[in-house]
Structure 1
Amino acid sequence: MGAAVGDQRARRRAAVAAATALLAAWWCCCAAAQVVKPTPRQAYGAAYGHMACQASVLIEPNSTEQLAAALKSHLAAAAAAGKSVKVRATHKFFHSTTAFACPSNTTNIFTPEAGSRPAFGAGPDLSVGVLLGGMDRVLSTDPAIHTMRVQAGMTVRQLLEAATAAGMSVPLGTVPAFADLMLGGVLLTGAHGSNYKGKSNLGDILKEITWVDATGTTRTSARDSPEGRALAGGLGLLGIVSELTLQLAPPSNTRFETVWQSGDEDIASDILELVARSPRALVVWRPDMHKYTAVLLSEVPASEPTTGATQTIELPKLVASGFGTMVRTWEEMARPPYVLEEAMCIASKEVSISHGWASNLRGRPLKNGVGPTNEMQSVSCGDQCAWEAEIANLAMWDTHFTTELWKLPDWIADVKKLMAEDFTGRCLPPGYFWLRFGDGNGDLLSPASGLNGTVNLQLSFMTSKASAPQWGIKHGHILETLEQLTLCKYKGRPHWGKNHERTYTHPNCSVPELYPRFGEFLAMRSKLDPARVFEPPLFAQMLARAPPRYGPRCALSGECFCREDKHCGPGRACVPSAAFPEYRACRRVGATG
């Protein structure tokens, strides 16, 4: 038995070494001359490189006063000239795969030949992009009651650092695990951490919001006011949020425990038990590998000794280069050789179920440990993220829905059915199914609005920016089918900052109908922004129940779910799922998987 295991490990090492040598040779000879750059950003664009937003005017304020004055000036000038205006606020490299951040036309790397895509409807005479990256300061703190007022352009990482400097902790589970997100965007999209039936998003620690409305007037609203409930999770449709007052906590540490690479035979019941044991659980699942890894987080007193744990997801340049090349080569081949498939499966495992929540100072994963709460719940990687390092040339393909936890066992069973009947490859791309937990709230457009105990279902997988425009993400038919299944069958509410244009324009599955207070929100918007200054074109298209923009390769760009082969591009066919034939997806002709 031991000899057999040793032989198997030797074969795996040989396969990886051979694949590495193959890819190194390919890189030296060919890849450097063929790297495809994303479409040039004419104004500002998504950090993932999927798209760029175009705007007539860019505003980059440093304060609420500057923002209000600039906005009022542009609105007055447009009114005097009889011009229509659209305004959207974000930051220069926003982390989203949707066009909600764009006030007008967009460009997309998946359909570069199409050039600039016109906005839905007539399009505004004047489009204004507001970049809040300069609004990243702490404005005041009150240590006695542990509150902090910050500008909305501050990132999660900056908030955590500021809280540490002020002798406070950001309550565990209330911020996303990725720390390079802007606080304003986190609040307005309903982004979350993980804490079942507890405080699980930024809105849960919000006390007050300062914002600029459609007249350029500065307003301040309490969290539980009608405006506060409409602003949180409200996509910036009422105005531009510029300042937040947050309720922080005394300093604490966080203990983490890992359930390491457990078999997924009983994953649904396992998860329910884990969440009962630790509401702040996070689960990474690879159904293609039949395993999951779970991390259980719990706050402990600051007096409990730490174990030297640290978090990082940065990739060294050499690793990023080789990894990006490997993904590209694998995607381009309909039937990759064994050594490449083996290397990709190992890499996919390393960035998912083999990636520890934290590591020691030598970089080795830690399965258990204790660290400061501000350092244990969210991690930053800047321009060294696998999906942002230019040398890797990778992008993330994100799908994310929120539904109630009681639906999880049936959803998992359907995922397994789909994998059994529709997937014939070795492994899915690098990435993961990620499950986090929360609770419902009273916000009008939050994905958790009115729900009772939630599970957040995120599918995040890497694709090459070089090969994706031609071939799409590898095994994308699995992800496309799951996207439709989760939206239509499970009534999953899409994360406003993730997913794709087609999610919000599905001809048979209306997103607004998933929100019981959607009409209430629209009534409030009619009072506060009757001219719909802050309405992005994609939201207008969703409201109008306008059909997706069908055309060549529209499924590759995320604009549509395919109805015919031309929507998939050359070499791909639009086929019904074997497991769920009511859903069609693009599948590469003659490919494994």
Structure 2
Amino acid sequence: MGLKNNDGGLLEFTGYPVIGNQSDMQSAGSCLRSAENYLLTACGRDPRFAGLFYHQTTISIPFTTIADFIADVKKLRDAHPDALCSTELYLGFFMRFVRNSSAYLGKTDDAVDIDITYYRSKDPKRPRLYEDVLEEIEQMALFKYNGLPQWGKNRNVGFLDVKNKLGAKLDKFVSVMQKYDNNGLFSSDWTDAGLGLRGKEVVVQGNGCALEGLCICSTDDHCAPKQGYYCRPGEVYEQARVCRKIKSVEADGLAWSS
């Protein structure tokens, strides 16, 4: 994780447990400024070498309901024992405890941040392994447990209903933002959509839109029916709508309109 080596070397770290300021411990090379001969310390997203390619979803779930969320995730795990193996290639389910904040875009409750890191193809129309399980967990966290999205680590669906979740805090943020940046210099179509500004919509409907989290599927075409992925209800959180790999649509008996 970019921790400093005891003797200043590049490759080996043995100094656990690590205690100290984050600025002192996180010493990995920069994605933008790592010298060519120091690529060993570059971050995994450095475009100069074939590094990791993954997505991370981070959702804050109120502390009072985190035990119920974990119990639901365990039900899905038990029903599909191999489904979460891909997350174990990275950090598994990484949990951090955070306090509520008076910041306008901060946490409304004491919460647990759930980081879920998984592989995704560079082709946005290519389904993920066990796509349905990860999508159900994502929707469960966001909607059943009223989770807040982390602003830099979520797909578009993470920001559905975020205005209602933050309420007056979001209104205050937008007011201050418009006061100091009335021309939108620091805004983009994406931030406008996430904040519900300038008529921008966070959901983008179209063929395959659910694969990238641009929408929650409501028809099979939102998934990848030609590759065997169809829109189906969740198994534990039945209100979820997920792209599930189905070997035989006839046997499944739930073919939806496309």
- TM above 0.5, one fold? yes
The residue aligned with 1:579 is 236
Q: Secondary structure at the match of 1:586?
A: strand
The residue aligned with 1:494 is 149
Q: Secondary structure at the match of 1:479?
A: helix
Give the superposition deviation at 1:578: 1.6
- Are 2:64 and 1:406 aligned? yes
Gaps of 5+ in 2: 32-38, 249-258
Supply the distance in 2 between the matched residues of 1:309 and 1:589 (Cα, whole angstroms).
Answer: 53
| 8 Å Cα contact 2:156-2:202 kept in structure 1 | no
- Mapping of residues 173-322 of structure 1, within 5 Å: 308=6
| 8 Å Cα contact 2:83-2:133 kept in structure 1 | no
- Are 2:10 and 1:380 aligned? no
Compared CA separation, residues 476 and 373, structure 1 to 2 (3 A): same
The residue aligned with 2:164 is 513
**Alignment match of 1:560 (pick from 215, 219, 222):** 215
Supply the distance in 2 between the matched residues of 1:394 and 1:494 (Cα, whole angstroms).
Answer: 23
Q: What amino acid maps onto 1:589 in structure 2?
A: I
The residue aligned with 2:131 is 476
| 8 Å Cα contact 2:83-2:130 kept in structure 1 | no
Q: Secondary structure at the match of 1:471?
A: coil
Q: What amino acid maps onto 1:411 in structure 2?
A: F
**Alignment match of 1:440 (pick from 96, 100, 104):** 100
Supply the distance in 1 between the matched residues of 2:231 and 2:158 (Cα, whole angstroms).
Answer: 17
Q: Deviations over 1:35-67 (max 9, x none)?
A: xxxxxxxxxxxxxxxxxxxxxxxxxxxxxxxxx
Supply the distance in 1 between the matched residues of 2:155 and 2:236 (Cα, whole angstroms).
Answer: 23
Give the superposition deviation at 1:579: 1.5
Supply the distance in 1 between the matched residues of 2:174 and 2:202 (Cα, whole angstroms).
Answer: 21
Q: What amino acid maps onto 1:520 in structure 2?
A: K
Supply the distance in 1 between the matched residues of 2:246 and 2:7 (Cα, whole angstroms).
Answer: 47
Q: Deviations over 1:183-219 (max 9, x none)?
A: xxxxxxxxxxxxxxxxxxxxxxxxxxxxxxxxxxxxx
Supply the distance in 1 between the matched residues of 2:244 and 2:81 (Cα, whole angstroms).
Answer: 12
- Are 2:151 and 1:503 aligned? no
Gaps of 5+ in 1: 1-176, 180-306, 315-357, 361-365
Give the superposition deviation at 1:518: 1.6
Give the superposition deviation at 1:437: 1.6
Supply the distance in 2 between the matched residues of 1:494 and 1:586 (Cα, whole angstroms).
Answer: 21
Supply the distance in 1 between the matched residues of 2:8 and 2:61 (Cα, whole angstroms).
Answer: 32
| 8 Å Cα contact 1:418-1:579 kept in structure 2 | yes
The residue aligned with 2:189 is 537
Q: What amino acid maps onto 1:438 in structure 2?
A: V
| 8 Å Cα contact 1:310-1:371 kept in structure 2 | no
Supply the distance in 2 between the matched residues of 1:492 and 1:519 (Cα, whole angstroms).
Answer: 19
The residue aligned with 1:527 is 179
Q: Which has the larger radius of gyration?
A: 1
Supply the distance in 2 between the matched residues of 1:521 and 1:545 (Cα, whole angstroms).
Answer: 17
Q: Secondary structure at the match of 1:406?
A: helix
Identity of aligned residues (%): 24
Supply the distance in 1 between the matched residues of 2:244 and 2:48 (Cα, whole angstroms).
Answer: 28
- Mapping of residues 31-430 of structure 1, within 5 Å: 308=6, 359-360=13-14, 368-369=16-17, 377-380=25-28, 382=31, 384-388=42-46, 391-392=49-50, 394-421=52-79, 423=80, 425=82, 427-429=84-86, 430=89
Q: Deviations over 1:393-441 (max 9, x none)?
A: 64211111123322211110111122223x2536531222110122122
Compared CA separation, residues 359 and 582, structure 1 to 2 (3 A): same
Structure-2-length-normalised TM-score: 0.73
Q: Secondary structure at the match of 1:523?
A: helix
Supply the distance in 2 between the matched residues of 1:533 and 1:577 (Cα, whole angstroms).
Answer: 41
Q: Secondary structure at the match of 1:455?
A: strand
The residue aligned with 2:251 is none
Supply the distance in 2 between the matched residues of 1:464 and 1:397 (Cα, whole angstroms).
Answer: 10
Q: What amino acid maps onto 2:191 in structure 1?
A: F
The residue aligned with 1:461 is 118
Compared CA separation, residues 550 and 404, structure 1 to 2 (3 A): same
Supply the distance in 1 between the matched residues of 2:18 and 2:56 (Cα, whole angstroms).
Answer: 30
Q: Deviations over 1:119-174 (max 9, x none)?
A: xxxxxxxxxxxxxxxxxxxxxxxxxxxxxxxxxxxxxxxxxxxxxxxxxxxxxxxx
| 8 Å Cα contact 2:189-2:200 kept in structure 1 | no
Aligned residue pairs, count: 228
| 8 Å Cα contact 2:209-2:223 kept in structure 1 | yes
Supply the distance in 2 between the matched residues of 1:488 and 1:568 (Cα, whole angstroms).
Answer: 20
Structure with bigger strand share is 1
Q: What amino acid maps onto 1:435 in structure 2?
A: M
The residue aligned with 2:245 is 588
